[in-house]
Amino acid sequence: MREIEVASFVPAKLLPQMADAADVVRHAITLPGLTVMALVPNRKGAQAALEAGVHKLTMPVSASVAHSPMCARRRPEMVEEVRAISELRRAIARQVKLEAGISTAFGCTLQGLVPEDDVIRLAAQCIEAGVDESGLSDTVGYANPAQVRRLFKRLRAELGVHAGAAHMHNTRGLGIANCLAAWDEGVRTFDASLGGCGGCGGCPYVPGASGNAVTEDLVFMFEAMGVRTGIDIQKLIAARAPLMAGLPGEPVYGMTPEAGLPKGFVQETIARV
């Protein structure tokens, strides 16, 4: 893997499992060839992440006024927080990249429908505020492939090269299908989690959410299509073992690891792309 979101710099009183985020980052940056990314909800989190040495920041900005961890603020205030983080990284770590993930872009468990115009407008405002790219997140697993195609087409038309990643959840079994729909619209960066364990599951602001699309299934889909990912799928599947050992009793998902690779499936020589 060339880029991993290794931690979230969020208040430990809300998510105590993230209290050692700085320690995780300091270890991760010792791994050669890896872009180390961390999620930050605000300027304080960004400051801590930058001090720990991250290479990239990702900030969730909710299109739903009912959902965001910053839900006490109105949308203009959220954009100003993005601007403050952008100015901070320019001042102390100009080389660090910054992305904004427009969360609940496809719907919200608290608000319901989220107007697509609001989503695109917010993404454009984040770019204007100084982020390098802005992607779309199906935080609660409401999206369907037709919706994903439509919204990413609009995003790319609005932002051009600044249009960012697809962050899809598998809450209703459509995570992989939605990634393929985003690929069809030109998206080339995808958030996924080993064993489906990452994402917003357990987040107090996302009731009922499951993990992201399963990395193993996503890599297999692309490799089976002839799309080279640069990821060795055999080693990727093998990485489930230490994950399961470290999280005993935690459910681990993924169809490809359970079924095995198809007979005759041979992955071409792994090369970074």
The domain that contains 95 carries what CATH number?
Answer: 3.20.20.70
Best CA proximity match to 270, nearest among 239, 227, 228, 238: 228
Domain annotation covers residue 259: no
What is the Cα Rg of the chain in Å?
18
What DSSP character marks residue 89?
A: H
Domain annotation covers residue 256: no
Domain annotation covers residue 269: no
Q: What is the pLDDT of residue 70?
A: 45
C-alpha to C-alpha distance for 183 and 199, rounded to whole angstroms:
20
Task: Check: CB of residue 144 under 8 Å from CB of residue 178.
Answer: yes
Domain annotation covers residue 226: no
Q: Considering the entire predicted model, what is its pTM?
A: 0.92
pLDDT per residue as tens digits for the range 122-164: 999 999 999 999 999 999 899 999 999 999 999 999 999 999 9
Structural domain boundaries, residue 45: 3-213
Amino acid at residue number 55? H
Best CA proximity match to 193, nearest among 160, 240, 146: 240
Q: How many separate domains does the chain show?
A: 1
Bridge partners for 98 per DSSP: 57
Domain annotation covers residue 231: no
Active site residues: 203
Phi, psi of 135 (to 5 degrees): -115, -175
Domain annotation covers residue 208: yes
pLDDT greater than 60 at residue 71: no
Bridge partners for 139 per DSSP: none
Q: Region 99-122: what's the mean pLDDT?
A: 94
Domain annotation covers residue 55: yes
- Look at residue 218 and give its three-state secondary structure: helix
Q: What is the pLDDT of residue 168?
A: 96
Domain annotation covers residue 11: yes
Task: Check: CB of residue 86 under 8 Å from CB of residue 130.
Answer: yes
Q: Region 211-238: what's the mean pLDDT?
A: 96
Q: In the structure, what pLDDT confidence band is assigned to residue 202 with cuts at 50, 70 and 90?
A: very low
Nearest-5° angle of CA 160, CA 111, CA 210? 75
pLDDT per residue as tens digits for the range 14-33: 889 899 999 999 999 999 99
